[in-house]
Amino acid sequence: DGGGHKRSMSSIFSLIKERGGDVNKLWRTIKQSVVKTICSVQPILNHIYQTSQPEDLTGRMCFEILGFDIILTESLEPIILEVNHGPSLNTDTPFDNRIKSAMLQNSFEIIGIDIENRHSIMDEQKVKFEKRMREGKNVRMTPEEKQRLRESIVTENDNRIKGKCRNYEMIY
């Protein structure tokens, strides 16, 4: 799969296996490095999201795709070279198109972007707006109510996501 400097993980792992490398250990180490990297910036990303979307309790108003560039040492130790905040989605080759199209489609499925969900959210917003117009006030939840609702939504989202990961793996 792929060629030159663009290759699939499966082709890289096959090559490493052929040369006697421990692919399971390598993948475990890569996942740990990715999780640690995301954990290091998660508070900042969460703060930015909460300040830009204070009324969103679902966490589904926006998302971000990160591109991790990882190099391997001779002893198969992964080193994160950089994390791309806006990785290229150009599809210069059929291989690029296949990989990136599948990644985007699966990302949309994981976060629940579909027409039914969009209509549901729009209907909820319309009801809230109409209520606010009729009653002349915006009824707000207490911080405790918001926290309980967020926790239940996180659990619901995690359960929904588990069935939609296809070739992806939850690593947190």
**8 Å CB contact between 84 and 66:** yes
pTM greater than 0.75: no
Q: What per-residue confidence (pLDDT) applies to 132?
A: 77
From the first residue on, what is the mean pLDDT of each consecutive set of 10 residues in the chain (172 residues)? 73 94 96 93 85 75 84 95 90 89 84 73 81 75 83 80 71 67
pLDDT at res. 146: 82
What was the pLDDT predicted at 29? 96
CB neighbour burial string for 85-97, b if at least 16 within 10 angstroms, e if fewer: eeeeeeeeeebee
